[in-house]
Chains A and B, each alone.
Chain A
Amino acid sequence: MRSFVSGFAVAASIAAASTPMSAVADPAPDVGNWQSVLEQARGQTVYWHAWGGEPRINDYIAWAGGQVLERYGVEVVQVKLTDTADAVTKVLSEKTAGVDDGGAVDLIWINGENFAAMKRNDLLFGPWVEETPNFDYVDVAGKPTVINDFTVPTNGLEAPWGMAQVSFYYDTAKLDSVPKSAQALLEWLAKHPGRFTYPQPPNYMGSTFLKQVLTEVVDDPKVLQQPADEVDAQKVLAPLWGYLEDLQPLLWRNGQAYPQNGAAMRTLLADNEVDIAFSFSSGEVSSAIEAFELPDTVRSYVFDSGTLGNTNFVAIPYNASAKAGAVVLADFLMSPEAQLRKQDPQYWGADTVLAMDKLPADMQNAFANLDLGIASLSPAERGTVLPEPHPSWMSLVETEWQKRYGVVQ
């Protein structure tokens, strides 16, 4: 009952807040003068558009919102998206309608293609990131992807929030040994046809698998760091299509059907429909076990020659209504305290963007003492992090994949 009453309070406050667009434009905060940012932010409400498919992440966001409200008087409302591109669409439709101030989106959880598209279309506010206080802790030297989002320079338009790296997982009760390269996977699958699949591109997990293979089979991986139109893309991609030619018939359902996302693939493993699956965070596998989604005998591993890794960010649209509030929130998200909780699998289990050696000693200890969870890989176990190809490769691979394998009938 209590929650229902408070629900009405929330409802009423939304109704009050959603009066027709305020004509008052939010002046761009002067991030260099942090005190002025804090003053401007106080009392603002930040609408943070973030994928809402994972209850644990939603809980973490709610916690961060509570902290920022308590400390800086900034209210945070998570707008739960099914797809980050919905927020991009929203900003775009506002630009179409000439709403250059007072937009609906204040902060977006973003990376890769979505960021590249927003940057290309001038839909972002900034640069602001490098002047925020907590950016000093960020591991720019050790983790180059915190300022290069899929090779695209972030130019201070988005603040790093978390690290992700592909890891594979399997049920140790069912498999004794696992293939540790793209080539080995193919050979293993020839002996166990139908026991592996990947989410259907253009789902980003599926595209990530294709990029992982591409990075392994391509003659010279360095080429992938350039935009695809600067090289002979056909020739570069040829080994990938050769690999898939062999792989596709061996997939689950003979490649006639695919899981639609990483979560659906996880369910296939839980149902014993496939033997090997993969994710962008081994911490996620631990928490899936915790949530009864996977048996507790599941463990993670990476390929011998490394797996793709990247960074995810938060960015502020050019027409946001609460830019100062969004900057304050983004800065808090990079703080050692927030990053520590984020890495704790009890709450989320995603890797920090911070450099341990830049942190105060007590925080270093706190990070070192985290229990990462039974199916999580420690930084040492994670091996080499391979860089993401330039986003143009992803578009190219997705389009070509769709032509070759997207229509099976």
Chain B
Amino acid sequence: MSKMDSKTPKGALSEKWTNHKSNINLVSPANKRLIDVIVVGTGLAGASASATLAELGYNVKAFCFQDSPRRAHSIAAQGGINAAKNYQGDGDSTYRLFYDTIKGGDYRSREGNVYRLAEVSANIIDQCVAQGVPFARDYGGLLDNRSFGGVLVSRTFYAKGQTGQQLLLGAYSAMNRQIGRGKIKMYNRHEMMDLVLVDGKARGIITRNLINGKLERHGAHAVVIASGGYGNAFFLSTNAMGSNVTAAWKIHKKGAHFANPCFTQIHPTCIPVSGDHQSKLTLMSESLRNDGRIWVPKNIEDVKAIREGGLRPTEIDEENRDYYLERRYPAFGNLVPRDVASRAAKERCDAGYGVNKTGQAVYLDFSSAIQRYGREEAHVKGLDEEDKLLVNNLGKQIVKSKYGNLFQMYEKIVDQNPYETPMMIYPAVHYTMGGVWVDYNLMTSIPGCYAIGEANFSDHGANRLGASALMQGLADGYFILPYTIGDYLSADIRTGKISTETPEFVLAEEAVRVKLAKFIHNKGEHSVDYYHKKLGKIMWNKCGMSRNEKGLKEAISEIKSLRKNFYKSIKVPGKVDEFNEELAKAVRVADFLELGELFAKDALERTESCGGHFREEFQTPEGEALRDDNFFNFVSAWENNGSPSESTLRKEMLYYEEIEVKTRSYK
């Protein structure tokens, strides 16, 4: 088994990226005009990459399955984006952001990549402000910051609870400028169906026009996958309904290794499931943990009374509440990293202290924050700090200005007023740290095929810190890929246009056509959702917040037989050559059914606990994750050999030169 080479440049950590940029090959402006690049996906990574590549002079073809590039799911990111600006003067630095990210990822990410990410982070904020992104500001007119989990500084820039929206619209505007100039050709409502390789290099894709169902061939000198994560393998997640793994999975099947699929983030603060009709879950931003305190009742009698409707949470005295995060982790309190907070919620609910009718919820309470802000405001305005009603009202106004849209969203969904009664929350699948394996240049194991943003595995190790996904997406798209791709494309300046009439394209298109026709002609009985929900249940119960050998083995065999049944009994109405959402969904679920098995296999093989991957067999007496650095200090890169059960593990060893690998502690 040969080891994977990350191609991380030599030299001191802080100089790697600068030196690398100075030494890689460039493509001249005149030659860039001769080169085509395909970008699949228009979230933060895809939109920013498309805009920058086009601006540099490449001819870009960008694809999204939505009706506009502005709708990609980055738009739903709420809380913020990290950057080591140290505007607050609280001791932040590139090194500290780098260190926090490596530690937050439970020492399972690559030093060189993470340092580069921290290094370019500050520039992202400059870029976005110049583009007119309306970040929150203080009364002096300067940018405001807040804190996120797993760190002790305030480095998160935000635009109320809509930071992702504002950043994506910024990248979308940069794209629009290039579309207007004719440098980007945008294909809305198009789905990538396969990657086309010519002489072992990525040279194009097959797409399906979702309006009329027509298959199309697109050639290019390089293909960039920016199609996001695979959280929807769980059916219920905070991802958008259309978010899927298909583009990433297709390149995996064509030779791109898939890394750490079991590293999945279960976000602690989501609105609990309300019933079987549920189609998706809604996140409540981690920023709420700046001011919200998480608790469950201390006494089991109170829990019962609440579930039966005889007691309201506001009627429980302070001394009868268990602020379990503050109790277990005094140093970080409610701002522990996501994996820690999620597991702690599960621990309390499993022990029988969960609230809500289902017993699967904990409280997120703003009453202390409302009091604190209210008194502060009364003091500033010279009003009576002892006037309870006044303080309460003033406090609510401040909380509203910070989190208004999130509170409104909660009220719409749950039909309870979170200003008056604590929110109920429970963990839900949110983000996938795993993804397509890439080297330092963000190139996959297929020459000329790149993966950026959530679609790759690169920067977050086994657990991502809050407000780091937006940072990584934009870092990859604006500042990293546009440089590194030139190194590869410099060999392509004489290649000329890629013809789509070659046998490789013809065969790839034909294979897609056959596959689609099979779905339509199958005389089955179950809808796509039937299978997707079944897969989701297996994933959540056996590959969710905690995993064990027995459950994972069961998951593998259950997913296998579900997949078999899927191809036998799937029912897809309508025709291929028309707008047919069921068909589009069938293609995506088919890929989830393969990915799910590889996910379970990866989780089974990794006999240690780290970050979001918690194996019950490997924990400390206090119930914390127990890593095994002697055996598992590597990235698991899975090589496709036809089916997930035949996939072979290839390791990329992780080397820590700069920081000492320690047991993560937030106590």
Chain A partners chain B: no
Q: Which residues of A contact B (CB under 8 A)?
A: none
Q: Which residues of B contact A (CB under 8 A)?
A: none
